[in-house]
Every structure is written in C-alpha cells, then in structure tokens.
Amino acid sequence: MLLVGTMKGGFILDGDASRKKWKLRGPFFDGYETYDMVGDPSAGKPVLYAAVNTWTWGPVIYKSTDLGKGWKRAKASPRFSPKNKEGLAVKRTWNLQPDGEGRVYAGAEPAALFATDDESSSWEGFESLNYHKTRKTWNPGAGGLCLHTIVVNPANRKKIRVGISSVGVLGSDDGGERWRFMNKGIRADFLPNKYPEYGQCVHKMDFHPGRPETLFLQNHGGVYISKDFGETWNEIGKRLPSDFGFPISVHRGQPGTAYVFPLVGMGRFPPDGEFQAWVTRDSGKSWTKSDRGLPKHAYFGVLREAVAVDGEEPGGVYCGTTTGQIYFSRNDAKSWEKMVDNLPRINSLSHLAV
C-alpha cells in the first residue's frame, strides 16, 4: 500500500504481491492540503494517519482504522498551549512519525514537536524544544520554519533527532527533556560563518532500522553521513551533479544503500532537465546515476517527503513529483516506470506492508 499526500487531498495506491498492478483510491479529505500520510502497524491492525491543513479548522489530523476505507477527524491535533507567552500557533503539520511502539510524533510549523500515545485523542508538546532559549533567533527556510524530520532510535527510543529548516539538527538523549544542536560538519553556505552552531537548512534525514547510529542527510547544500547518530557529520555528495535536493531515503534491506534526487538549487529542477536518481551502495563512497525509464526534458521537482522505499527484495523505490507523477522501481533503482500520472502536486509518499 502506498499512501500519497498531495496539495488537493490524499490518495492510496493498493498493489498486488508482484507490485505490478496498482489501484488508485481517493481523493480524501475534501481536497485539502495533505502534507503527510503514514501507517502505524504497532497495534496489530494498522492505523493510518494524515496531516491535513484545512482552510476551515486549520491543521488537523485524520485517521483511519480500516486501511483508508473511512477517515475521521481525530479527537485532537497538535497545538501549542493557548497560554504560551510567545503567541505561537500551529500553522501546518509537516511530518508524522510512528515510533513502532504505539507513539506517533508530529513535526509542525513553526518549528515544534508533539507526540500522541492514544491514537490522536490527545497530543503533548515538547516544551524544552518548542520554547527553546534560542528560538527567537531561528529563521525560516523558503518553505517556512518547519520541523520536517523526526528520527527515533529503535535501539533506544529516548534518543531522538529532528531536522528544522533553517535551524539544523537538534537531538535529545532523554526522551525530549533536553535538546542540543547537532550540526558539527554541516555547511550553511548562505551564512557568513559556513559552519555555525545552528542555522543550517537541513532538508531530510533517514536511516536503516538495523543500523540506527548511521544517519544520512540531504542538506540545502551537501549530502552527509553520520556514524554516531548525529554527533558528527561527513560530506559524501561531492561527486553528485548537484549537492542540492530535498529527499534522501535508505534501502530497508541494505543499510549502506541510499537514494537522492539532485536538483538545481535556484530553479528546483533536475540537472540539465533530465530527471535522475543517484544511488550509493557503499555509504557514500561512490554514486551511480539511475535514469533508465525516467523522462528527459523534465523540469519538475521532488519534495522532501515524496520518496518512499519498501522492505521487499529486490527493493522498491517510489518517487512523486511536483507535477503529479509517481515513478517506481521494483529492482533497487536499476530501472523505473511510471505508476500514475495527473495527480496534484505530491507532498509525500509512504509505503505500508499489509
């Protein structure tokens, strides 16, 4: 099952065992902006969640307990305390991240983290992050001051890393009680100090659950790896045609295999107008271009949540574009085919095995 969040609602693609036939359902959520859709299988029967930004009620969470046949507005959605002295209010929910044990995290704009332990009946904010002492000096990226990435270490779920544009990586080792900046080695080319404590515009992080200490990161400029869960970062993308991009995804069966989709930074389209994935199979030591089956003369982009991988062998890779196509590889990105066309701009893709 592939969950698809778009600027005009959510969709679901149901696939057969061979991953050759897919059936499209939707749109859901009355055509409202849907920034993320995920499935949490930890309760036995999966619960689906969607981060929907409505014109009427603001940002809300929808959920489904029947694999998307029916959706209901959850009892609660992430919110700052109405008594907060800064006057903060949630503008959008950008990212949803189940931790595998029943908790679901939500990343929001402006730069905030929340969690629910009761299937979105209530949400708790992480005050030491949401009201961080340096918050007044944080600056937004082009997409807003968004907390867009949440990484929870499955070997120790008190170890959390988040990505914020344009603040960088912050981490907690005590379940969110205390937070510190973790940007050592990450560039911020647009600042006078190229390696500040914070202020980096990180775009996305990912990791392999079997090797959680190793993180891959796509930055506003540069692709990075950390082998100590974010304590230090090393650049690995200098051989790419562009070190700018939004998504980065790690193969679920091969911890050293990761996929990026380079873009020209100013134009937000593929280098030379040729849509291409680049793949490393050795943790960034080398990269291989993957464009068989992908279009030439392509001037669309790929957003940070719009790449998904499955746990099959050979691995499946799914990529959604800003012009509404989904391209799919069922052979570890050796070749590609178009799965669907003419959807609204695709914000997110998420794979769920059912």
pLDDT in tens, 196-241: 999 999 999 999 999 999 999 999 999 999 999 999 999 999 999 9
Nearest to 320 by CA among 336, 334, 335: 336
> Which CATH number goes with the domain that contains 345?
2.130.10.10
Dihedral sign (CA 79, 82, 86, 92): positive
Looking at residue 82, what is its pLDDT?
85
Alpha-helical runs (H) found in the chain: 127-130
CA atoms within 13 A of residue 141's CA, in its CB half-sphere: 21
Q: What is the pLDDT of residues 63-86, one digit of tens each?
A: 999 999 999 999 999 999 888 888
Buried b (16+ CB within 10 A) or exposed e, 94-132: bbbbbbeeebbbbbbbbbbbbbbeebbeebebbeebbbb
What lies within 8 Å, CB to CB, of 50 at 6+ separation is: 3, 5, 10, 28, 29, 34, 36, 37, 61, 62, 63, 71, 96
Q: Find where tokens 């943790």 sit.
A: 283
Instruction: Using a cut of 0.85, tell me whether the model's pTM lies above it.
Output: yes
Distance between CA 218 and CA 237 in Å, rounded? 9
Tokens of 52: 């929907």
Neighbouring CB atoms inside 10 A of 160's CB total: 25
Residue among 198, 199, 242 at smallest CA distance from 218: 242
Q: pLDDT tens across 201-211, in order? A: 999 999 999 99
Does residue 43 surpass a pLDDT of 80?
no
Predicted local confidence at residue 266, as pLDDT = 84
338-354: average pLDDT: 97
pLDDT at 162: 99
Structural domain range at position 277: 2-351
CB atoms within 10 A of CB 229: 20
Q: How many domains does the chain have?
A: 1
Per-residue pLDDT tens over the stretch 141-177:
999 999 999 999 999 999 999 999 999 999 999 999 9
Nearest alpha-carbon partner for 52 in 350, 351, 304, 348: 348
Residue 92 has pLDDT above 80, yes or no: yes
Q: Output the pLDDT for position 246.
A: 97
* pLDDT confidence band for 265 (50 / 70 / 90): confident
What's the chain's average pLDDT?
Answer: 96
Q: Are 309 and 317 in contact (CB under 8 A)?
A: yes
Query: How would residue 44 be classed by pLDDT, with cut points 50, 70 and 90?
Result: confident
pLDDT at 17 over 80: yes
